[in-house]
Amino acid sequence: MPTSPEALIAYLDGLGIATTTHTHPPVFTVEEAQALRGTLPGGHCKNLFLKDKKGRLWLVVALEDSKVDLKSLDKRIGSARLSFGNGDLLWEVLGVRPGSVTPFAVINDTEHRVTVVLEQAMMAHDLLNYHPLDNGRTTAIRSADLLKFLRATGHEAQIADLA
């Protein structure tokens, strides 16, 4: 069974990472999230679960308004040609469904199959917002603490200029 949002928050607490979580109706798109979030501070993000033609898996995390060009992204991150991973693979590897993709989902990637790529511009924000494994909630975390969390799960993030 994948990690629950409550277990994720407890894991973060155990690492000494402070977060704030807000509950809201489930959102499936950036546009839906924008309409619901009001004045939540920090960078708001999108997450792309990708597979390259060599079978390697990637989680690319960027600011919601960043333009991520899949045709040139491979050259920026050192992958083969990229396409979106399907929902079954997403569930198998990260334990989340489409609409709930988040860097927090690497807690479920115990085999370390996914390479995490964080947008450089996103990491310039002190506070970042992601779904805590459930698209009916948003959790704010400091960018430095996101890196701490990723390392604790065995994922050393690649920080890249995606523009």
Sequence-separated (6 or more) residues with CB below 8 Å from residue 72: none
Residue 38: predicted pLDDT: 65
- Mean pLDDT in residue range 37-65: 92
* Helix/strand/coil for 50: strand
Residue 143: predicted pLDDT: 98
What tens digit of pLDDT does each residue of 1-33 get?
A: 799 999 999 999 999 999 999 888 777 777 777
| All structural domains of the chain with their residue ranges | 5-160
Confidence bin at 58 (pLDDT 50/70/90):
very high
- Mean pLDDT in residue range 144-153: 98
State the CATH architecture for 5-160: Alpha-Beta Complex (3.90)
Confidence bin at 152 (pLDDT 50/70/90):
very high
44 with 63: CB under 8 angstroms? yes
Q: What is the pTM of this model?
A: 0.93
Q: Is residue 69 predicted with pLDDT exceeding 90?
A: yes
Sort strands 82-84 and 43-52 into parallel, antiparallel or unpaired. antiparallel
Element housing 142 (H / E): strand 137-142
Burial of 79 (0-12, 13-18, 19+ CB in 10 A): buried
Across the chain, which distance is largest between two alpha carbons, in Å?
41
Residue 23: predicted pLDDT: 86
